[in-house]
């Protein structure tokens, strides 16, 4: 009996940019051609790789859809000389570019029928197109706003042949349900090919593999999973493309948060085999995943949007120290600038530690005293405030002076301000509008305070080369161990008016991330006074969060596109 024919498949783990059709097509073509030269005859590019994910309301523009159709044709012709190559690529399909059917949604808006599609390109032509059947509409997903399901349109599976094997195409959410894979199998698929743009959150890589393992086991077919990497506004994509055998066992995995090509050899009746140096790259620990996600989010937001550099208000506290360490890892020290803005309440150890850390990572460090400006505000307002005691008003003035200074430097230099507020502060309103919330990108907006400490300690355990050539921790130990304080009044600490962060963050996770009711959180063992205080703060500070900068999402629910609560609401449970 002759040996079954082997087909080399390349999983193209790339980092496209939304709307850069020419650039994305070039990225896909270069990766596919390089894979073909290494023997690949099937290449899988990620979901909507041609236009970038998520394109959001660009999908409502007919010109965008026409441009995608043109780019797809150009990409097919570009690879026409790659004899025997079958490239599966994700793209939007439909609208005026394909037909003239429209879905009238109001008297003023007509939206063309559009599909989240994957096409097989071979021999310079589009050999077949598949339309996604399962459209996610939860968490950060909003696909039913834009797309029609292939099922609802009466469109069937897509199975194509290469090297004697039959490959069934699925798109992301399709593989989380039984029907699409069963239809591909019934159409003769020997291998399931899943192309994806699945946003990262903590724990998602393992969950994703477990679900795909169930799909492989249910069909008895090997499964190849090609995934996007990179950052797009508040979401990040972790890569980690992988191959499963028919038992659901991972036989190959690409690294997380890196552009890469994972090669797998497949043959009928046999488990996929890693090829060309591919292997099972281990999944890193949770803190490492979070760090890489934050670094990726900063790097791609700054680079893709063309900002020359970043500015950080460095306070000597843990939050700004963490943001600085992330920014340096993302951009390098030459593109990061720090400013310490001492107030009358700034402790000496704060500027000493800030100066120390800036020196360790080798970034520009400046100091601007805000006392004269603070005094000028108080003098100007003295008549208006006569007879009134000092309170948070004066604290907020200090924060707003700092925000004004940072934004002035940003305007003058073109650098973007990275804000330093964490998720616990965003939840409870312990942040100042037009003060420490002033800036262009909120790096740790979805990082709770307890995780801030874990990440700082994790970073300090990593062997890091410092500016002086030595290897050691980059965050001074005292920044991690001293009690956190906004330093806006004498002897102030965060815990003066908040529960311990271990308690606050647990309540936050239960209420905001898990949708638990107040009574259920109390029943879980928390003091009712703490629960009612924290949940009240979450509710009354919604108006602040609506005005905050976009920030990186690393949990399964962040204060961003997957948190849409009304500002005006009397619901209290």
Active site residues: 47, 132, 172
Whole-number Å distance between alpha carbons of 474 and 555: 25
Task: Pull the structure tokens for residue 394.
Answer: 């004066």
DSSP letter (8 states) at residue 153:
T
Cα 46 → chain centroid:
16
Which pair of tokens denotes residue 260? 């890469």
Q: Rounded to whole angstroms, how far apart are CA atoms 55 and 64?
A: 10
**Distance separating alpha carbons of residues 27 and 11, to the nearest angstrom:** 14
Rounding to the nearest 10 degrees, give the CA dihedral for residues 438, 442, 446, 449: -70
Which residues, other chains included, contact 56 with Cβ-Cβ below 8 Å and sequence gap of 6+? 18, 142, 146
Distance set, CA 411 to CA 211, 302, 404 (Å): 47, 16, 10
125-131/159-162 β-pairing: unpaired
For Cα atoms 345, 349, 351, give the angle at the middle one, nearest 5 degrees.
Answer: 75
Q: How far is CA 224 from the centre of its chain?
A: 23
| β-bridge partners, 194 | 170, 225
Give the HSE-up count for residue 553: Cα atoms under 13 Å, Cβ half-sphere: 23
Query: Torsions phi, psi of 505, nearest 5?
Result: -70, -35
Q: What are the two backbone dihedrals, phi and then psi, of residue 308, each rounded to the nearest 5 degrees?
A: -75, -30
Q: Residue 188 in contact with residue 159, Cβ under 8 Å?
A: yes
Q: Give the number of other CB atoms < 10 A from CB of residue 469.
A: 6
Supply 216's token pair: 């492989």
Residue 366 to residues 6, 143, 192, 306, 350, Cα–Cα distance (Å): 61, 46, 56, 24, 14
Give the Cα separation of 75 and 89 in Å (integer).
10
> In this structure, are residues 5 and 268 in contact, taking their beta carbons and an 8 Å threshold?
yes
Which of 330, 276, 255, 324 is closest to 298 using CA atoms?
Answer: 330
How far apart, in whole angstroms, are the C-alpha atoms of residue 244 and residue 273?
10
**In this structure, are residues 140 and 553 in contact, taking their beta carbons and an 8 Å threshold?**
yes
Helix H segments across 414-513? 423-428, 449-461, 477-481, 501-508
- Helix ranges (H only) for 159-203 are 178-186
Cα–Cα–Cα angle for 251, 8, 248, rounded to 5 degrees: 25
């Amino acid at each position: 009996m002759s040996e079954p024919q082997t087909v080399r498949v390349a999983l193209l783990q790339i980092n496209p940019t939304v709307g850069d059709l020419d650039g994305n097509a070039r990225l896909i073509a270069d990766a596919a051609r390089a894979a073909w030269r290494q023997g690949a005859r099937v290449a899988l590019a990620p979901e909507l790789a041609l236009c970038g994910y998520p394109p959001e309301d660009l999908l409502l523009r007919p010109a965008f859809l026409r441009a995608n159709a043109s780019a797809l044709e150009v990409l097919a012709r570009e690879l026409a000389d790659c004899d025997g190559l079958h490239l599966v690529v994700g793209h939007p399909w439909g609208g005026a570019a394909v037909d003239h059917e429209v879905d009238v949604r109001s008297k003023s808006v007509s939206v063309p029928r559009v599909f989240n599609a994957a096409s097989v390109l071979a021999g310079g032509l589009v050999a077949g197109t598949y339309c996604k059947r399962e459209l996610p509409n939860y968490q950060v997903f909003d696909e039913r706003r834009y797309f029609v399901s292939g099922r609802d349109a009466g469109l069937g599976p897509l199975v194509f042949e290469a090297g004697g094997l039959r490959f069934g195409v699925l798109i992301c959410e399709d593989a989380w349900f039984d029907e699409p894979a069963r239809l591909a199998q019934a159409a003769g698929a020997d291998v399931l090919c899943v192309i994806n743009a699945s946003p990262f959150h903590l724990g998602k890589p393992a969950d994703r593999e477990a679900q795909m393992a169930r799909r492989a086991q249910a069909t008895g077919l090997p499964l190849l999973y090609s995934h996007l990497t990179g950052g797009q506004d508040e979401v990040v994509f972790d890569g980690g493309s992988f191959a499963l055998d028919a038992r659901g066992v991972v036989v190959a995995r690409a690294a997380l948060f890196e552009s890469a090509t994972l090669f797998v050899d497949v043959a009928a009746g046999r488990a996929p085999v890693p090829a060309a140096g591919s292997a099972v790259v281990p999944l890193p620990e949770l803190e490492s995943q979070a760090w890489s996600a934050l670094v990726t989010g900063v790097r791609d937001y700054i680079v893709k949007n063309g900002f020359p550099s970043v500015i950080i208000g460095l306070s000597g506290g843990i939050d700004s120290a963490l943001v600085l360490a992330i920014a340096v890892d993302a951009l390098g020290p030459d593109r990061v600038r720090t400013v310490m803005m001492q107030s009358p309440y700034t402790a000496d150890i704060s500027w000493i530690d800030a100066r120390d850390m800036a020196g360790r990572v080798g970034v520009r460090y400046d100091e601007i005293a805000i006392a004269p400006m603070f005094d000028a505000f108080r003098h100007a307002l003295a008549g208006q405030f006569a007879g009134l005691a000092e309170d948070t008003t004066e604290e907020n003035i200090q924060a707003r002076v700092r925000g004004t200074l940072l934004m002035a430097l940003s305007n003058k230099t073109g650098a973007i301000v990275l804000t330093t507020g964490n998720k616990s502060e965003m939840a409870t309103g312990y942040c100042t509008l037009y003060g420490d919330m002033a800036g262009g990108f909120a790096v740790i907006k979805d990082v709770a305070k307890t995780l801030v400490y874990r990440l700082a300690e994790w970073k300090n355990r990593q062997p890091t080369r410092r500016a002086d050539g030595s290897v050691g921790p980059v965050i001074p130990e005292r920044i991690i161990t001293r009690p956190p304080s906004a330093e806006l009044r004498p002897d102030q600490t965060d815990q003066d008016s908040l529960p311990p962060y271990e308690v606050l963050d647990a309540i936050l996770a239960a209420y905001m991330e898990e949708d638990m009711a107040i009574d259920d959180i109390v029943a879980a063992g928390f003091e009712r006074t703490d629960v009612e205080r924290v949940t009240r703060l979450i509710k009354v500070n919604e108006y602040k969060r609506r005005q905050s900068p976009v920030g990186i999402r690393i949990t399964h629910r962040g204060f961003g596109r997957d948190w849409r609560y009304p500002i005006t609401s009397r619901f209290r449970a």
